[in-house]
Amino acid sequence: MIDKTLRQLSRALADREISSVELARLFLDRIERLDPQINAYITIDREKTLAQARAADARLAAGKAGPLTGIPLAQKDIFCAEGWRTTCGSKMLGNFVSPYDATVIERFNAAGAVILGKTNMDEFAMGSSTETSYFGVTRNPWDMERVPGGSSGGSAAAVAARLAPAATGTDTGGSIRQPSALCNLTGIKPTYGVVSRYGMIAYASSLDQGGPMARSAEDCALLLDVMAGFDARDSTSLDRPSEDYARALENPLAGLRIGLPKEFFGEGCDSGVMRRVEEAIAEYRRLGAKTVEVALPNMKLAVPAYYVIAPAEASSNLARYDGARYGHRAPAYDDLADMYAKTRAQGFGDEVKRRVLIGTYVLSHGYYDAYYLQAQRVRRRIAEDFAEAFRQCDVIMGPTSPTTAFRIGEKASDPVRMYLSDIYTIAVNLAGLPAMTIPAGFVDGLPVGLQLIGDYFAEARLLNVAHRYQQTTDWHREMPVIG
């Protein structure tokens, strides 16, 4: 059962081959046995999980089941879930038990899905390796000495190791796509505003977007069908008609125009990774697609613009963590100002402090115009570059990550090198576009991801392009040997 797709699991539950309780126990037992060496989960609560599974079995017996009813899913620990400890990978929220559900959790609950547990992540989603978590490093199941990517590294590792059939992630600058690529998964970041951010703990509000991480495009479509939708509680949520994201999966690719940005195929990418990407593009040509060269001239400015805008928004969002209302509070202090200072010094890790300080600096008097406003102008230019490219093509392709998974500790002391791990993914978030990654092969036993970028609201098209490739290749079926 651990190797079945979501659709296969749904069929097995409907046919009474297995109950939701039995399926949940299967994964919980596997987590208990294998997760100590991977550290994919922060919180497991067997009682809550099995209670949800029993409720799902009742729905199945009553004939009121949907495609995800009874299926256990891992939830990134950035989504608030009522009665569950929700830490965001930080000491600051180490004792916080959420009193309400995020909209994403609410939607999965309504669909009858079961929460397996809350997964590890870079603290407040700030990182590309899941090394900044207060709860320890998550290890990549393909090589335990390497990182799984980040910030959604716990979700990626859990699905790769078959400690969950699928998981949620969030993507601020590549945090669904990069860990999915490094762990041989399929992951999609929807158009900004398609998935509600209500109850999703904020890092950079104009960039954050939730999305699914699974083994295949078909599985991601099933998950996105549940996750997406308008939410009046989120002011950035888009009021659009609901979609069936699996509707176009089987459409042929004849005539598809694939844009290849010259900025994605120059220096900076590992030669082995680039070979796998070029082989994947060649497969698309065999499927009937044609390729055209496009340009994204402001791509080189994406990383510096992101690391002005995201820290600026983080410094504002994280100001609420002061010890006065919830979360960590310093045990000893002299007065209110001292409580604030000591609480934040003790509660935040080094990477969070670094980004808050940068963000406060670029928003300060005398620097706002020079840095923040300039970065926003660059952001608009990047969006315009994509708009021009999509006049010439239907989907843009290139590497997801410039390298395969790097060793734990390899980049931890060099923030700039770490930030460049997201060099191919960040521009998408600045423009608010949808993008996904799919498994495209291996280099020295480590997974490589192919990135697909679409125009606004082209999620169904992206899933179709990914699905047709996965019908002719087996990379997404490969599984690491662990335990």
pLDDT, one tens digit per residue, over 102-118 is: 999 999 999 999 999 99
Residues in the chain: 483
Question: Which pLDDT belongs to residue 181?
Answer: 98
186 secondary structure, DSSP code: E
Given the residues 90, 98, 133, 175, select the one marked as catalytic: 175
So where are the chain's domains?
6-255
For residue 200, pLDDT beyond 90: yes
Backbone angles phi, psi at 79, to 5 degrees: -95, 125
Torsions phi, psi of 78, nearest 5? -105, -15
The alpha-helical segments, DSSP class H, found in 62-200 are 103-110, 153-160, 177-182
Interatomic CA distance for residues 320 and 361, integer angstroms: 18
**CATH H-level, domain 6-255: superfamily:** Amidase signature (AS) domain (3.90.1300.10)
**Residue 419 and residue 127: Cα distance in Å, rounded?**
8
Check if 76 is active-site. Answer: yes
Q: How far apart are CA 133 and CA 42, in angstroms?
A: 10
Q: Given the DSSP bridges, would you call strands 257-261 and 395-399 parallel, antiparallel or unpaired?
A: parallel
What pLDDT score was predicted for residue 266? Answer: 85
Model confidence over 172-181: pLDDT tens digits?
A: 999 999 999 9
d(CA 328, CA 337): 15
Q: What pTM was estimated for this model as a whole?
A: 0.97
Which candidate in 151, 155, 180, 315 is catalytic? Answer: 151
Is 129 one of the catalytic residues?
no
Both tokens assigned to 233: 């509680």
**Of residues 153, 123, 139, 119, the one with CA closest to residue 351:** 123
Residue 175 appears among annotated catalytic residues: yes
**pLDDT tens profile 278-313:** 999 999 999 999 999 999 999 999 999 999 999 999
* CA distances, 428 to each of 171, 383, 452, 464 (Å): 10, 8, 10, 19
- pLDDT tens by residue, 346-382: 999 999 999 999 999 999 998 999 999 999 999 999 9
Burial 71-88 (b: 16+ CB within 10 A, else e): bbbbbbbbbbbbebbbbb
At 383-420, the pLDDT tens digits run: 999 999 999 999 999 999 999 999 999 998 898 889 98
Q: Which residues in 421-431 are b (16+ Cβ under 10 Å) and which e?
A: bbbbbbbbbbb
Q: Which of 194, 242, 121, 129 is nearest to 435 (CA)?
A: 194
The Cα–Cα gap between 401 and 423 comes to: 7
Selecting among 76, 91, 118, 411, the annotated active-site residue is 76
State residue 416's pLDDT score. 86
How far apart (Å, rounded) are the C-alpha atoms in residues 344 and 338?
10
> Residue 263 in 3-state DSSP?
helix
Q: Do 98 and 82 meet the contact criterion of CB atoms below 8 Å apart?
A: yes
Q: Residue 483 has what pLDDT?
A: 65
Residues of the chain with pLDDT > 90, as a percent, come to 96
Share the mean pLDDT of the chain.
Answer: 97
